[in-house]
Amino acid sequence: MKLDVVSTLKDGLQLLKENPKILVPLAVSVVLWLLVVVASYGILGLEYYDTAELLNALVLLLLVWTVVGTLGYFLDNVAVRVAADVALSGETYLKDGLLFTLRKLPTLLAAGFIYMLIVTPASLLIVPGIYLGVRLLFFSYAILIDNESAMGSLKKSWSIVKGNWLRTFALLAVFAVIGFPLGYLLEIENLLLWAVACAGMVLVRGWAIATLTLAYLQLAPEPAEEEEEEEEYLTMPPEEPFELQQKIDEPEIPLKPKPEIERKPRKDEDEEIKEEQKQKKVLDEFLLSEEISPENSVESESGITMQQLQTERRDEEKEKQSEEIEKEEGDVRIADSAERNVKVSEIDVIANTVAEETTDKVRIEGLGLRRRRLQKSDTKHVDKNVPQKVDKAEQKSRGNTKDVEESSLDGVSVVLRRD
């Protein structure tokens, strides 16, 4: 795969703009280097009266440079890991990048030591040093992104730069040209220029790390694809020669075709019966269980929609309900008429009894008046049997009357008592 220099530079700058957290470990590294430089000028500016004191100062300065150089190397690789996380997953976690780089620090130190052993002697001849330095440039990226070992990372860097050496060198040349003026500003004794130079160095180094991370991801093959190909190759079971020979020796036996079954055409009556059964099933299963909207209505084989069937079934149920209501109302009317007839008959009986009693009373009163008149009369020709007849009629009327009669007409009781 060929590396596109211009697009990689643009993508690296865009990655740095969207995720400025990549610059945090680089800023700490630059501050440490500035402190070491200031301390070195202070140590070397002192006057030493003894050679032993000068040697002790140089040894101390060497130790400080070694420790700070190791810290700077570690922080640069933290920035590489953070940039790789952003490029692969779009998320930035400084803590995770710091811990992961700390676990890989022994491998990084071993690979860096081997890199220095190879490149430093070749740098004396300039051209071989530049060539080897570019070919082995991506060893730390291989360790932090693909979890390679020390020697494996150097081999992988050597293989992926093959065919893209000039393009990789062009990327490094761009950052070298931009960073050279910033290094010149550090030599000027001006605090403001120093601050500008340090900020510029942090930005250029962050841009370089983001761009080289994207370049490595473009050039390095994906390890997942290689593992899948190896697994497929290993999982293919080889066929045994005995089974192959047995398959070759066995003759092929032609299979007899199955006899075709002649199907009789269905009659119209059978089709109608099946359609009716289907309609009944649809009515029993769906219409009564849940309501069907016009949008979800499904046409049956006879062309009648489910909604039409549902409306017909509802109309039938309404008619049945109305008939039942009419029957109940007719029964109620008959019962009411019977009760009314009974009440009318009771009223007639009571009225007759009252009329008879009133007539009896009138007759009794008339007979009493007649008796009194006969008693008062002094006529000689009075019939002697008349008082006896009056007494007999009065006893007969009194015997016919009842002592007490009670009747009810719509909740009102009538009581007839003896005079």
Q: Give pLDDT tens digits along the chain (419 positions).
A: 788 888 989 998 999 888 888 899 988 888 888 788 777 777 776 666 667 777 777 888 888 888 888 998 999 999 999 999 888 887 777 888 889 999 999 999 999 999 999 999 988 888 999 999 999 999 999 999 999 999 999 999 999 998 899 999 999 999 999 888 887 777 777 778 878 888 888 899 999 999 999 999 988 876 544 444 444 544 554 444 444 444 445 555 555 555 554 454 455 666 777 777 777 777 666 655 544 444 444 444 444 566 676 677 777 877 877 888 877 777 777 777 777 776 767 777 777 777 777 766 666 666 666 666 666 654 444 444 544 554 555 555 555 444 434 443 444 343 334 33
Q: Looking at the domain assignment, is residue 37 inside a domain?
A: yes
Q: Looking at the domain assignment, is residue 237 inside a domain?
A: no
Q: Among 221, 256, 288, where does a domain finish?
A: 221
Q: What angle do CA 114, 101, 99 make, to 5 degrees?
A: 155
Residue 106 pLDDT: 93
* Of 31, 39, 34, the residue nearest 64 (C-alpha): 39
DSSP structure class, residue 284: I
The H-or-E segment that residue 405 falls in is: strand 404-409
In order, the DSSP letters of 289-310 are TS---STT--B-TTS-BHHHHH
Burial class (CB in 10 A: 0-12, 13-18, 19+), 85: buried
Residue 239 pLDDT: 47
Q: Among 221, 237, 263, where does a domain finish?
A: 221
Number of CB atoms found within 10 A of residue 95's CB: 7
Q: Looking at the domain assignment, is residue 133 inside a domain?
A: yes
* Alpha helices (H) in 124-222, listed in sequence order: 127-135, 139-146, 150-161, 165-185, 191-219
Could you give the dihedral angle defined by the CA atoms of residues 329, 334, 338 and 344, in that order, rounded to the nearest 10 degrees?
80
Rg (CA), the chain: 62
**First-to-final CA distance of the chain:** 139
Residues 6+ positions from 93 with CB-CB distance below 8 Å: 82, 85
Q: Looking at the domain assignment, is residue 19 inside a domain?
A: yes
Burial class (CB in 10 A: 0-12, 13-18, 19+), 167: middle
* Of 394, 390, 357, 361, the residue nearest 374 (C-alpha): 390
Q: Among 221, 255, 288, where does a domain finish?
A: 221
The H-or-E segment that residue 408 falls in is: strand 404-409
Alpha carbon distance 28, 72 (integer Å): 8
Alpha carbon distance 63, 56 (integer Å): 11
Amino acid sitting at position 118: I
Residue 394 pLDDT: 53
Q: Looking at the domain assignment, is residue 377 inside a domain?
A: yes
Domain carrying residue 410: 364-417
Q: Looking at the domain assignment, is residue 228 inside a domain?
A: no
Q: Looking at the domain assignment, is residue 266 inside a domain?
A: no
The total domain count for the chain is 2
Alpha carbon distance 2, 170 (integer Å): 13
Residue 241 pLDDT: 47
Q: Looking at the domain assignment, is residue 319 inside a domain?
A: no
Residue 116 pLDDT: 93
